[in-house]
Amino acid sequence: MKAAVISFPGSNCDEDLVYALQLAGHEAELVRSTATQLTDFDAVLLPGGFSYGDYLRSGAIAKFAPIMPALKQFAAAGGLVLGICNGFQILTEAGLLPGALQCNEKLNFICEAEPLTVVNNATSFSNQYAAGASITLPIAHGEGNYYADAATLAAIEANHQVVFRYADNPNGSLNDIAGLTNAAGNVLGMMPHPERAVEALLGGTDGLGVFASMASAIEGGTHDQRADA
């Protein structure tokens, strides 16, 4: 798998994500948000951080970055797109994922290892996990409280778009949602950081499954499969 990691001004997890992908055996390179093309990549990843400082609202400025038209074109063509933390917020701001991320329920910044449940292992981002698997990934955010209106939330659930749910729901997210895909299944946003759980030195390797799943889907030509968990 050859992956592009988009680096926005303020991104602070971009180098970590490149390192994690390379550690997992994949090709990865940084692509500046000022670029206008995404050719010759199998997947595009948006890292965590504070794009443009997030002074207005998380992801609100990044959605206007020069790279975004190419990203939308890549996603529309069925390419795999993964947004992590701030990357998730950018994807919702850009309209590539439904709903929004708002301030955590208790208005606090949370930085801790968080238990999750893999509720749908039939996606391009989770096929290497067992159905119903319990995994632990770090979270670090102040605006990870997932929200969608009732009709949107019902559609998300009916279409099995929720991939990860929190076991203890640390931020007040509706339906314990920690990560979900678009309706087509080729764009995933998740608040937990898989790139921070790729070697024992970091406390665990549960994050490797996300990258292995993407590579498996690409190599198998099944990245457009829909889940029916």
Nearest to 33 by CA among 17, 14, 56, 57: 14
Number of CB atoms found within 10 A of residue 99's CB: 19
193 among known catalytic residues: yes
Q: What is the mean pLDDT of residues 67-94?
A: 98
CB-based contacts of 143, cutoff 8 Å, min separation 6:
58, 89, 101, 102, 103, 104
For 199, phi then psi, to 5°, come to: -155, 150
Is residue 111 part of the annotated active site? The answer reads no
* pTM higher than the cut 0.75: yes
**Residue 151 neighbours by CB under 8 Å, 6+ apart:** none
Alpha-carbon distances, residue 27 vs 24, 55, 75, 83 (angstroms): 9, 33, 20, 18
Q: What is d(CA 214, CA 1) in angstroms, rounded to the nearest whole number?
A: 8
Q: Is 195 a catalytic residue?
A: yes
User: Average pLDDT over the chain, rounded to whole?
Assistant: 95
pLDDT class of 220 with cuts at 50, 70, 90: confident
**60-75 pLDDT, tens digit each:** 999 999 999 999 999 9
pLDDT at 10: 94
The single residue of 85, 114, 141, 143 carrying the catalytic annotation is: 85
Q: What is the mean pLDDT of residues 215-224?
A: 82
**Can you spell out the DSSP letters for 116-153?**
EEE---SSTTTTTSPTT-EEEEEEEESS-EEE--HHHH
Does the structure show a pLDDT above 90 at 151?
yes
| 30: Cβ contacts below 8 Å, ≥ 6 apart | 5, 7, 14, 15, 18
pLDDT greater than 80 at residue 222:
no
* Per-residue buried b or exposed e for 153-182, using 16+ beta carbons within 10 Å of the residue's own CB: beebeebbbbbbbbeebbbbbbbbbbbbbb
Q: What pLDDT does residue 223 have?
A: 61
Tokens of 33: 């948000």
pLDDT more than 90, % of the chain: 93
The predicted-structure confidence for 101-129, as pLDDT tens digits, reads as follows 999 999 999 999 999 999 999 999 999 99
pLDDT at 8 over 80: yes
> Residue range 157-163: average pLDDT?
98
| Average pLDDT value for residue range 135-150 | 97
Q: Which range among 49-63, 99-113, 151-165, 184-198 shows the weakest confidence by mean pLDDT?
A: 49-63
pLDDT, average across residues 21-28: 96
With a CB cutoff of 8 Å and minimum separation 6, the contacts of 155 are 98, 183
